[in-house]
Amino acid sequence: MSRSTLILAVLVVVLLTGPMFIVVPMSFSTAPSLEFPPPGYWLGYYRRVFSDPNWTGPIINSFLIGLGTMVLSMLLGVPASFALARYQFRLRAAFRIIVLMPLIVPHIVMALGYYTYFGTLGLVQSMPGVILAHACLSIPVVVLTVTSALANFDRRVEQAAANLGARPLTTFRLVTFPILRPAFLVAALFAFIHSFDETVIAIFISGRDSATLPRQMYNSFQMEADPAISAASSLLLAAVLAVIGTRWAAALVKARSKPIGASS
């Protein structure tokens, strides 16, 4: 690696991780508002995040909405992925563009559209409305992930199962699904994270009883610059690091459990 490439990599890492060295210390601050460096340290704002209904409610809502979005996105996105990857039909290119359009259209434009349309259906300020809107944004992520896996899928294993008398559903359950399970898990995880992290549409669609954590953080920062925002952000960061650490630890244990002389 050249020196210029190394310097560039270090700068990128600093830009990406720099905010953490500000947000995390402020989460322990004793200041009544966002202040850096903190005048003192305590755990009061973490206790507030776990005890104040203004924070616990949105956290629970975000998990429920994320799970609902994940399920709905997988139910709609996986069949769409198989259709795009394996079948030729009229308007296939147009269908692909429509499916991937939420990745192109600005969220504020989609939020205005959902607010107007869902208003006529009575879905504004409701959890089902937020789940439907978030699913529309997450389906393209599922489609891209699953179609990429299908592009490298060897269909001869399915043909072999069919030649042995397996029905299509049996072939999918015993052959296709086990092979594509990692792609399905990644797609589901991305759909959940995409929903959990979404703010713009949640501001337009969710109401007081269905407010998500990002909306609560936005409202709190806009009105009072509550340091509990830093505590909530630090908890989200810790959750991400925990998932990455668990994955890394599992891979390490699996590598060490291989018998000596086994191929990598």
Look at 92-106, 115-129, 207-221, 238-252 and tell me which has the smallest mean pLDDT: 238-252
- The pLDDT value given to residue 36: 75
- % of residues, the chain, pLDDT over 90: 11
- Is the distance from CB of 111 to CB of 200 less than 8 angstroms? yes
Which pair of structure tokens corresponds to residue 140? 């393209």
The larger pLDDT score, comparing residue 191 to residue 261, is at: 191
pLDDT at 139: 92
pLDDT tops 70 at residue 260: no
> Which candidate, 261, 221, 264, places its Cα nearest to that of 23?
221
User: Residue-wise over 49-88: b if at least 16 C-beta within 10 A, else e?
Assistant: beeeeebebbbebbeebbbbbbebbbebbbebbbbbeeee
Model confidence pLDDT, tens digit, residues 22-74: 777 777 877 777 777 777 877 878 888 888 888 888 888 889 999 999 999 99
Look up the CATH superfamily of 52-225: MetI-like (1.10.3720.10)
pLDDT mean across residues, the chain: 82
Residues of the chain with CATH 1.10.3720.10: 52-225
Please give the pLDDT value at position 64: 92
